[in-house]
Amino acid sequence: MVFNRATEWPQIIGWSGPFEGFSEPEQLLAAFFASSNVGLAVIDTQFHYLAVNQALADMNGVAVEAHVGKSMGEILGEAAGPLEPILRRVVHSGKAVMNMAVALQLPGRAELGHWVVHYFPMNDAAGKVARIGVMVVEVTQHKKLEAKLGRLAGELQQKKERLKMLLEISTTLNLTPELGQAFPSIAASIRRVLPYDWIDLSLLEESSESVRLYAMDSSLELPGLGSEAGYPLKDTLGGEAIAEGHPKIFRRAELAAIHSPLVDQMLQRGIRSAYSMPFVTPKGASGSFNLASSKERAFHSEDLDLLKQIGMQLANALDHTLAAAEIGPSGDDRKREWVKAQREMRCELDFEEIVGQSPALQRVLQQAKTVAPTDATVLIRGETGTGKELIARAIHHMSLRKERCFIKLNCAAMPGRLLESELLGHEPGAFPGAVSGKIGRLERADQGTLFLEEIGDIPLELQAKLLRVLQGQGFERLGSRRTMRVDVRLLAATNQDLANRVRAGEFRADLYYRLNVFPLRMPALGERGEDIPLLVRYFVEKSARRMNKKIESISAEAMQALTRWDWPGNIRELENFIERSVILSQGPVLHIPLAELGHPAPPSWATPEAVQREDILRALRETKGWIEGPRGAAARLGMTPANLRFTMQRMNLLRKNYQN
C-alpha cells in the first residue's frame, strides 16, 4: 500500500479531526491492510485507486505503486467494464454489494480468473459516499478443482451407465436366448449410452462376398431396406473391418470413400461417423456389428473396449442362435445335446433350487423372469413352505443388482422396537442397552435387494417409515435426525391376505398399494401334484449326500403315498419328511414312516402313547405347528404349551416340520 503517512492515510480512512499521529487502532488497521492475503483496495467515486495491498496487486498482475492514482479501466482494461455499473450503484444508493461472483480475463494474466468481490461505501462526515472499500477473494483454484471434480463425477457416472448397459444386455440375452427376439431390447440399452441413428448385425453369406442384415434398428428411412436384405460386402459398413480383421472407427470422409449406394444413402440422411466390429471365429470372419451416428465424432478410441464387450456378447449369442437353428430331425445328436445342456444350465442358474415342471410353477417362473430386470417392488404371496424366499433369490439373481447384496429380514421373528432397529439401524444411546451404533438392513442392502419375509407382521408405526423409504428412499436411524439415502429394490413375502388386513385397519392401505406393484403367488404343493416325484428324488439325493448315505430306489407304494398326501406344510414339510425318512433308512431303499401320512383310526390294540402321538400329529398339522394361544395345538389337545413341548421332545416330533 502506498500513501503519505502524514497526509493521505487520514483522508483515506475518513479522518477529519486534528491529527498528531496514528492512533493504535489506526496502526492495527494499516498493518492488516498491508499484510492481508485477501485483496483490499480503496477507490474514489471516479473509480481511481487510492490504496491497494500487495495481495490485490498480485491478483491484478500490476505492481502496487502502479495502481495509486490510476483508474480501474487503466489497470483492469476491458475487464473493468462490467464492474463500473455496480460501483455506480454503490455510490448512488449508499448500500454495499456483497458476495458477487465474477469471472474476468485481466490484461496481466494469461488465463480466465474467478473472484468473489465485496463493495461497501465509505461515508464522509456529512454522510455522503466519498470512497468505496473493495475486498476481493480469488477462487480460481477452487473453480478449477470444482471443474476437475465435476469431470471425475461425470466419468464415474459414465462408467456406471456403461456397466449397467452391459448388465442389461447380458440379462436380456439370458432371458431371451434367441438373438433376433432380444435385439430390440439390446438396441434400446445401447442407445441410452451410445446414441446412434443406425445399428445392425450383418452376416457373411457362404460366398464371403456378400452380407445380409440379420437384425437392425434405425431412425433412417432407406428405400428397399429390410432385415433380410443382402448387399455386396464391399458396399457395407462392416466390409473394411471384416477384411482387416479388427474394429474400425469411420469419420465422414472415410465413409464417403467407400463409394457404396447404401453408405451414400446414409450420408445423404445425415450420418457423419460410424463404428464396425467384425465377428471372427477360428474358421474366419462370420459377420459384423455396426453403429452409425449423425454426430461428427460419436465414437472415440476410448469407446473401443466397451464396444468390443458389446460385440463379443452379441457374437456369442449369435453363435448359439445359429447353432440351435441348424438342429433339425436329421441334425447332429451331439450338437442337439449341447444346446439342451446350455438351456438346462441357464435354467439352473436362474432358479437354483426351484424344482418342478408343473404348469402352475412354470407360470410363476415366467412372471419372475419378466419382472426381474426391472426395479419394481414384488409382493410374493403363498402358503408357508411354498418357496417364497427361493423365488425372491431367483429374482435378485436375474436382476441388474445381482452383483450386489441380497439382504433378508424376517418381520415375524422379533418384536416391533427390535425390528425397527434391525431394519433402520440405531445410534449409540438410542434406547436402553444401545451402547454402540448399528447399521440396519436397509443400509446393508444399498444398491442391492432387500427381502422382507412375513411383511404383514410389521407394526403400523414401522409401516409408515417403510412407506417413506419406498416413496423417497430416505430414512433416519433410531436416535438420529440425519436423513440417510439408499437405493434398494424391495421384495416382500407374506402368507396373509393383506387386502383383508387393510379392510380390518391392521395394515396401511397406501403401503399395501406400494408393495402390490407386481403381485406373484407361489402355488401350494397341492396344486403341483406332478412335481412331487421330482421333489422327492431331489430331496432324497440332497439329504443322502449330506449324510453320506446311498439311497438308490423308492418303492412304488411309498411314492404313491407321498403323492396322495396333501402336504399342508407344502415343500418345507415334504423336505423335512424326506430328511427324516433318509435318517430312518438303513439300506439302499428309502424307508418312509407311512403312519404319519393320513389319519386312519387307531386299531383297537393301539397303545395310549400311539393314540396320543396321532392326536398330537393331527393338531400340529391343523394348526401348522402353532403351539401357543387359544387356537394353538396345546389348546386343542387340552395341554399346557410347556407340557406339549415336553411330550413332543419325548416322541421326537419336530415343530419345524409343520410350523408357519
Whose cell is 474400425? That residue is 248
Q: Is the pLDDT of residue 603 over 60?
A: no
- Supply 38's cell numbers: 485477501
Q: Is the pLDDT of residue 30 over 70?
A: no
Query: For 33-37, 50-54, 434-438, 457-461, which range has the lowest pLDDT when averaged over its residues?
Result: 434-438
Q: Is the pLDDT of residue 64 over 80?
A: yes
- Supply 294's cell numbers: 449423425
The answer to whether the pTM exceeds 0.75 is no
Rounded average pLDDT over 635-655 = 77
Q: Which of 348, 495, 531, 492 has the alpha carbon at shortest distance from 409?
A: 492
Which residue ranges form the domains of the chain, and what is each CATH number? 8-138 (3.30.450.20), 155-326 (3.30.450.40), 352-523 (3.40.50.300), 528-657 (1.10.8.60)
Q: Is the pLDDT of residue 25 over 90?
A: no
Inter-residue contact 591 to 549 (CB < 8 Å) = no
Q: Average pLDDT, whole number, for the chain?
A: 80
Q: Is the pLDDT of residue 48 over 90?
A: yes
Distance CA(494)–CA(381), nearest Å, equals 5
Rounded average pLDDT over 366-373 = 90
Among 222-226, 304-308, 333-337, 582-586, top mean pLDDT goes to 582-586
Distance CA(530)–CA(411), nearest Å, equals 33
Would you state the pLDDT for residue 215?
85
- Supply 480's cell numbers: 438420529
Rounded average pLDDT over 44-52 = 91
Would you state the pLDDT for residue 340?
43
Query: For 75-89, 339-353, 546-560, which range has the lowest pLDDT when averaged over its residues?
Result: 339-353
Strand order across the beta sheet in which 97-104 lies: 49-52, 39-44, 129-138, 113-123, 97-104
Query: For 9-13, 91-95, 215-219, 322-326, which range has the lowest pLDDT when averaged over its residues?
Result: 9-13
In this structure, which long-range contacts are made by residues 68-73, counting pairs with CB atoms below 8 Å and at least 24 apart in sequence? Answer: 68/2, 68/3, 71/46, 71/47, 72/43, 72/47, 72/48, 73/47
Would you state the pLDDT for residue 604?
43
Query: For 94-98, 174-178, 590-594, which range has the lowest pLDDT when averaged over its residues?
Result: 174-178
Rounded average pLDDT over 375-379 = 91
